[in-house]
Structure 1
Amino acid sequence: MFFSEAGARPRTWEASPSEHKKWVKVFKACDEDNKGYLSREDFKVAVVMLFGYKPTKIEADSVMSSVNPNTSGLSLEEFLSIVRKKKEVQLHRNEIRHIFTAFDRHYRGYLTLEDFKKAFRQVAPKLPEQTILEVFREVDQDSDDLVSFKDFEYAMNYGRNEA
């Protein structure tokens, strides 16, 4: 796919020392009775504190099933690893949203072929129009001549986990 070949993979991201301290502080605040781990409910509260939403049952099940079976919950190291991954995904999605918004100059919530042509003319003026058309057709998953954010996000993430 064009976007993965063009290197649209996310950059490696590291938490700042202050952000890391915040995560540890949240872990400790949610670790009732100082057990040294987060229970399922503790984890949900921590996610609300850090990300502003309550995790779904599926997300909580997924996280808790990844916990070492010899422990009673999520250790600090496991929690920090999960938070780091969630933060990377959040930042990557925000970056994709920013790019989509830059293409969507009329704020319609979708992109047309003309939007693609204008954007590519600015960033790659010598790119053949046929290539722009091929990219547009590839990104337009449902072939309705409109690229939704969902289509665009899918294209930007295509091949992301292959390397």
Structure 2
Amino acid sequence: MSLSKAGFCSRTREASPLEHRKWVEVFKACDADNKGYLSREDFKIAIVMLFGYKPSKIEADSLMSSINPNTSGIVLGEFLNIVRKKKEAQLYRNEIRHIFTAFDVHYRGYLTLEDFKKAFKQVAPRLPGRTVLEVFREVDRDSDGHVSFRDFDYAMKHGQNEA
């Protein structure tokens, strides 16, 4: 049983009108020559403006290769779709971090079976103890009795794919 099947699922949300407007404004600001699209460099600047980091060459290459080959860059609709997906991924990662931190009541940077039992008792009191144990064993991939954030993050992502 995965964490998502045990009741810990992420939810996506639509961009607010304010966010959407901001994304359009960033697109227009980065399309300095009013070409109607963002070049690779324009796109990198837009991502810095919205997310505070410069995309790697691999990320930029991947995104540029995924766009319509008949265009010279990323048009507004494609840009909005890319930004929406990046925002969802960012929110999902923050949600996973928040859940992990809520489980890690002793601030150790890892979770034990006891941490799982306490957390599940609060959020799913009727969940059988064997199910909690099964989830813990699945998440504790190296069977050392400790679940790191990396293991937790992996389990949450793979649990989402199974749902």
- TM-score under structure 2 normalisation? 0.93
Structure 2 CA distance for aligned equivalents of residues 93 and 30 of structure 1: 27
Structure 1 CA distance for aligned equivalents of residues 120 and 8 of structure 2: 15
CA 28–94 in structure 1, closer or farther in 2 if over 3 Å, else same: same
Determine whether 1:62 maps to 2:34: no
Cα offset, 1:8, TM superposition: 4.2
Contact 1:3 1:156 in 2 (8 A): yes
Structure 2 CA distance for aligned equivalents of residues 127 and 11 of structure 1: 22
Aligned positions of 1:83-162 closer than 5 A: 83-161=83-161
SS of aligned partner of 1:3: coil
- How many residues are matched? 163
Structure 1 residue ranges, 4+ long, deviating more than 6 angstroms after superposition: none
CA 102–159 in structure 1, closer or farther in 2 if over 3 Å, else same: closer
Percentage of matched positions with identical amino acids: 78
Report the counterpart of residue 38 of structure 2 in structure 1: 38
Query: Aligned letter for 1:139?
Result: V
Cα offset, 1:9, TM superposition: 4.0
Query: Aligned letter for 1:33?
Result: D
Contact 2:2 2:156 in 1 (8 A): no
- TM-score under structure 1 normalisation? 0.93
Contact 1:120 1:132 in 2 (8 A): yes
Structure 2 CA distance for aligned equivalents of residues 105 and 3 of structure 1: 18
- Structure 2 unaligned runs (5+)? none
